Amino acid sequence: MTIQWFPGHMAKARRQVTEKIKLIDIVFELVDARIPMSSRNPMIDEIISTKPRIVLLNKADKADDFITKQWISYFKEQNIPAIAIDAQTGTGLKQITALSKVLLKEKFDKMAAKGIKPRAIRALIIGIPNVGKSTLINRLAKRNITKTGDRPGVTTAQQWVKVGTELELLDTPGILWPKFEDELVGYKLATTGAIKDAILNLQDITVFALRFLKDHYPNRLQERYNLEELPEEIVSLFDEIGKKRGCMMQGGYIDYDKTSELILREIRADKLGRLSFETPSQFDHED
Ligand code: G4P
């Protein structure tokens, strides 16, 4: 799904999320573990405000484990609990309810002290398109999707999905926009497949990806494309991969679009192994 984010859409998305946040106890902010900063909404802190939150580093199965651990520490240092998960297979999901209970203990203890009947923790999943929100909701809900119906006093009808007995989720996630005005963010989103290739130039995306791999995962590049050594120039790297894989045009020229498609397809299919495209150290100076 490609959403065109215009100012009107962004304002509407924000309004909808703000309304939903009023109904819940805790926000699950879903990001892509390979690009946790670039796959966030730029106004997320302001939108979530003081509501408790857990950052869920999804698609951790595709990310570099070592870097994911660094990201978990990075968020922890900012007092934001973070968990690495894989919504597709369910890895890490058990921790979500357990951690939510810890974070909300005080609130629920206070409610109990006031004589309020115990109830399930209410949560909302928020994230930019394609981070895995629907996959996560379906996975958490398992087969026993139970719609508990509308809540009185709520203007827009919201459906709740039970996750075990202790947690319930709003069945539609909060969808927010990425920081797309930043070119680098765009390239990272495109490389990981979060945005359609047509939005950015295919060869530019591949230049970004190759440059990143050359700097951070040179051995993986060499191994995958059987390269004795990595050429200095990115164009030469393109040429070598194109030649090795037979991405040629008439006259013996390299077909750069075909080469780009091949490289990006292989990165997204984890053919170069598990990769992370940003590290906390790249963001330290911004804090
Ligand atoms: P959204 O609601 O946030 O927009 O995302 P959605 O659940 O539709 O997930 C987007 C794609 O990401 C889906 O692939 C989904 O299977 C995949 N995905 C979600 N969570 C995980 C995860 O933890 N690990 C992995 N490896 N993949 C995950 P898709 O439908 O095949 O779309 P696409 O691959 O063609 O983009």
Q: Both 154 and 73 in a single domain?
A: yes
Q: What's the pLDDT at 284?
A: 77
- Residue minimizing CA distance to atom 18 of ligand 1: 132
Cβ(201) – ligand 1 distance below 6 Å: no
Q: What's the pLDDT at 180?
A: 82
Q: Both 83 and 137 in a single domain?
A: yes
Q: Both 112 and 247 in a single domain?
A: no
The boundaries of the domain holding residue 273 are 201-282
Asked if residue 83 is part of any domain, the answer here is yes
Asked if residue 208 is part of any domain, the answer here is yes
Q: Both 220 and 167 in a single domain?
A: no
Q: Both 207 and 165 in a single domain?
A: no
Amino acid at residue number 48: I
Q: What's the pLDDT at 197?
A: 67
Q: Both 96 and 138 in a single domain?
A: yes
Which CATH number does the domain housing residue 147 bear? 3.40.50.300
Asked if residue 176 is part of any domain, the answer here is no
Q: What's the pLDDT at 156?
A: 53
Q: What's the pLDDT at 4?
A: 77
Q: For a pocket test of ligand 1, which of 41, 96, 130, 137 has the largest count of ligand atoms closer than 8 A to its C-beta?
A: 130
Number of domains, the chain: 2
Q: Both 214 and 160 in a single domain?
A: no
Cβ(131) – ligand 1 distance below 6 Å: yes
Q: What's the pLDDT at 158?
A: 73
Q: What's the pLDDT at 248?
A: 95
60 is in an annotated binding site: yes
pTM over 0.95: no
Q: Both 165 and 211 in a single domain?
A: no
- Residue minimizing CA distance to atom 35 of ligand 1: 193
Torsion on CA atoms 16, 161, 4, 189, rounded to nearest 10: 120
ipTM of this complex prediction, to 2 decimal places: 0.96
Asked if residue 219 is part of any domain, the answer here is yes
Last residue within a domain, chosen from 153, 171, 189 = 171
- How high is the mean pLDDT in each 10-residue block of the chain (287 residues)? 79 96 97 98 96 98 98 96 97 97 97 95 97 94 52 60 94 93 93 85 96 97 96 95 95 95 98 98 72
Q: Both 109 and 230 in a single domain?
A: no
Q: Both 219 and 158 in a single domain?
A: no
Asked if residue 145 is part of any domain, the answer here is yes
Which CATH number does the domain housing residue 243 bear? 1.10.1580.10
Asked if residue 52 is part of any domain, the answer here is yes
Cβ(88) – ligand 1 distance below 6 Å: yes
Q: Both 165 and 52 in a single domain?
A: yes
Closest approach atom of ligand 1 to CA 60:
23
242 is in an annotated binding site: no
Contact 247, 259 (CB under 8 A): yes
